[in-house]
Amino acid sequence: MCNLNKIGWLIAGACAGVLAAIVFCAIAAVAAGTFYGALANGVLMISAAVAIGLALVSINIAIQSVGPCIINPCKAPGTALQNSFIAVAIALTVLLAALILGIFAASIPWAGVAVAIGLGVGAAALAIALTVAQRNLTALELCMAAPRAVGVNVATGFIATTVAILVIALVTVTGGVFLGGW
């Protein structure tokens, strides 16, 4: 059975994981500007990797959940949604691998700033990809004419909040770079 609410909540869960990773990377970028702060970055980067891992789990469940929605006459929007989830899952996997590799690199004082910023920007790009997935979910919802789209509305609001916080996080990172002396 096609459950659009569940899919909307899964997108919101993935957004929460990506947002947490961005925040952890922003804090790590600021902390890498000092010698002792950089030593704590391993914990921050592990936390970011866990957050991305949880987002990946959410997206993989969403990939499975969209299967029953790929029916006529809504096969095209359902397939587009599934394809966008697959693209997000691949991007999350790549970012997760980069975060795992970046655990040690981000712990290098001052040089770790660039690593943490790069990983944070990668996570921010994922927020854009999740917005595309949400648009595909809206298209599927309109095709199926399901008036009970509570999960979709929650995901939409969550994505808007995520974008606003992304801007704050990027400003924080930029300020950390200049204040950290990089």
Using one digit for the tens of pLDDT, what is the confidence trace for 148-168? 444 555 555 556 556 556 655
Neighbours of 137 (CB within 10 A): 29
Cβ proximity of 167 and 103 under 8 Å: no
State the average pLDDT over residues 10-24.
90
Residue with tokens 């990797």: 49
pTM above 0.75, yes or no: yes
Higher pLDDT, 58 or 182: 58
Distances (CA, A) of 21 to 27, 50, 121, 152: 10, 8, 10, 23
Mean pLDDT value across the chain: 81
**Structural domain total, the chain:** 1
Query: Can you tell me whether residue 108 is helix, strand or coil?
Result: coil
| Dihedral sign (CA 133, 87, 16, 113) | negative
The range of the structural domain enclosing residue 11 comes to 4-180
